[in-house]
């Protein structure tokens, strides 16, 4: 039977969240992080644990059909590989940083300077767009140390919390790109395998939509129902059920978690009481 081959990071910042996403999609994997390859028990899927930087090549060559990978790695090495879904985790920036003590006005300050990076393509393209000529020093790890040891005047690397920059006395001066984990597709994927991919994508969307939403239940006096339903758009329209106490109703709806606190304040002002907020495991629209 045909199987969908998916690559995930063997170790690193995406590994845990990638496996959690597959688990939330109902896909259980025989645990074998020590192995290169493992099979899913209840979905026609094979998981390949690969080094981050190698994944674009495996996608291009069609060794795997899809991958969970950082957009930053795709932009750097994944020319021609398409993105099927943004996955909403491992958010970071690819940024230029300079020593805290150095004066920095704008990008032209980097003309003629040395920049250490593990992202040469991204850096080169960005500098070219900005009309800046700098010397790139390509290093594969601990890039942030380069200015401190006199190897470079600036660095370009990923920034997430900013603590690595802080510890190394650096300041972020330009955000070159924003990145998050994505589901990337091999240009060599077969038609037959695309069907399996669509099934996986359907599950991923339901999980992500659930993660982004909250189920809200509240009580309100009937005269306030119009005002409250106007605040709660829900998936179609809110569910309204009468309470045992005359003149009161219970309203159920789904709220985008990004606007959640704002909505709760408005609901309280409109007379809502006993507000319950519950997580949603999956949501199929
Ligand atoms: C990355 C990057 C930075 C750090 C930034 O390294 O190279 O060192 O994360 O994160 P922060 O802003 O939260 O401090 P990572 O640990 O992912 O490993 P890498 O060196 O293999 O890129």
Whichever domain contains 191, its CATH number is 3.40.190.10
CA–CA distance, 207 with 203 (Å, rounded to integer): 6
Summarised one tens digit per residue, pLDDT across range 118-142 is 999 999 999 999 999 999 999 998 9
Provide the whole-model pTM: 0.90
Do 169 and 46 lie in one domain? The reply is no
Pocket test of ligand 1: the residue of 55, 77, 157, 180 to mutate, having most ligand atoms within 8 Å of its CB, is: 157
Closest by Cα among 164, 124, 160 to 147: 164
Choose which residue among 147, 158, 175, 178 to substitute to test ligand 1 binding: the one with the highest number of ligand atoms within 8 A of its C-beta.
158
In a domain, 284, yes or no: no
CB 45 within 8 A of CB 200: yes
Residues 77 and 34 in one domain: yes
Identify whether 173 is part of a domain.
Answer: yes
Together in a domain, 97 and 202 = no
Q: Are residues 225 and 200 in the same domain?
A: no
Instruction: Give distance in angstroms: CA of 172 to centre of ligand 1.
Output: 14
Q: 271 and 141, same structural domain?
A: no
185 and 167, same domain (yes or no) = no
**40: closest CA among 54, 53, 26, 56?**
26
CA dist 25 to 21, 28, 102, Å?
A: 6, 9, 48
The verdict on 84 and 101 lying in the same domain is: no
Verify whether ligand 1 is closer than 6 Å to residue 124 (CB atom). no
CA of 142 to the centre of ligand 1 (A): 8
Q: Choose among 60, 50, 56, 66: nearest CA to 14.
A: 50
Q: For residues 73 and 205, state if they share a domain.
A: yes
Residue 58: predicted pLDDT: 97
- 96 and 171 both lie in a single domain: yes
Task: Tell me, letter by letter, the H, E, C secondary structure of 227-266.
Answer: HHHHHCCCCCCCEEEECCCCCEEEEEEEEECCCHHHHHHH
What CATH number does residue 262 fall under?
Answer: 3.30.70.120
Per the structure, the complete domain to which residue 75 belongs is given by 4-89+180-210
Give the pLDDT confidence score for residue 257 in this predicted structure: 87
Weakly modelled stretches of the chain, pLDDT under 50: none
pLDDT score of 31: 66
Q: Report how far residue 188's alpha carbon sits from residue 4's, in angstroms, rounded to the nearest whole number.
A: 13
Tally Cβ neighbours within 10 Å of residue 254.
19
Question: Is there a domain that residue 285 lies in?
Answer: no
pLDDT of residue 164: 96
Looking at the structure, tell me whether residues 12 and 117 fall in a common domain: no
User: What's the domain count of the chain?
Assistant: 3
Residues 74 and 197 in one domain: yes
Buried-exposed string 159-178: b where 16+ CB fall within 10 A, e elsewhere: beeeebbeebebbebbebbe
Domain boundary residue among 210, 232, 251?
A: 210
Please report the pLDDT score of residue 33 as a whole number: 61
Sheet hosting strand 154-159, strand order edge to edge? 135-138, 114-117, 154-159, 92-99, 170-179
Residue 223 · residue 270 · CB < 8 Å? no
């Amino acid at each position: 039977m045909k199987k969908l081959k998916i690559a995930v990071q063997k170790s690193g910042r995406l590994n845990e969240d990638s496996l959690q996403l597959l688990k939330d999609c109902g896909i259980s994997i025989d645990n074998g992080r020590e192995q290169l390859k493992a099979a899913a028990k209840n979905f026609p899927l094979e998981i390949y644990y690969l080094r981050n930087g190698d994944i674009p090549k495996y996608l291009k060559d069609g060794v795997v059909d899809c991958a969970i990978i950082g957009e930053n790695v795709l932009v750097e090495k994944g020319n021609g590989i398409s993105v099927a879904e943004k996955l909403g985790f491992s958010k970071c920036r690819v940024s230029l940083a300079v020593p805290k003590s150095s004066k920095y006005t704008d990008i032209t300050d980097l003309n003629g300077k040395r920049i250490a990076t593990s992202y040469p393509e991204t850096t080169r393209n960005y500098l070219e767009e900005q009309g800046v000529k700098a010397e790139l020093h390509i290093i594969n790890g601990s890039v942030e140390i380069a200015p401190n040891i006199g190897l470079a005047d600036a660095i370009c690397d990923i920034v997430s919390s900013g603590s690595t920059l802080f510890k190394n006395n650096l300041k972020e001066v330009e955000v070159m790109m924003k990145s998050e984990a994505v589901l990337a597709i091999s240009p060599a994927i077969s038609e037959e395998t695309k069907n399996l991919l669509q099934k996986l994508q359907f599950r991923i969307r339901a999980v992500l939509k659930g993660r982004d939403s909250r189920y809200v239940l509240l009580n309100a006096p009937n005269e306030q129902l119009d005002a409250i339903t106007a605040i709660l758009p829900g998936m179609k329209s809110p569910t309204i059920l009468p309470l045992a106490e005359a003149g009161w109703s219970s309203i159920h709806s789904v709220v985008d978690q990004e606007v959640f606190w704002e909505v709760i304040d408005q609901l309280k002002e409109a007379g809502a009481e006993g507000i319950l907020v519950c997580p949603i495991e999956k949501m199929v629209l």
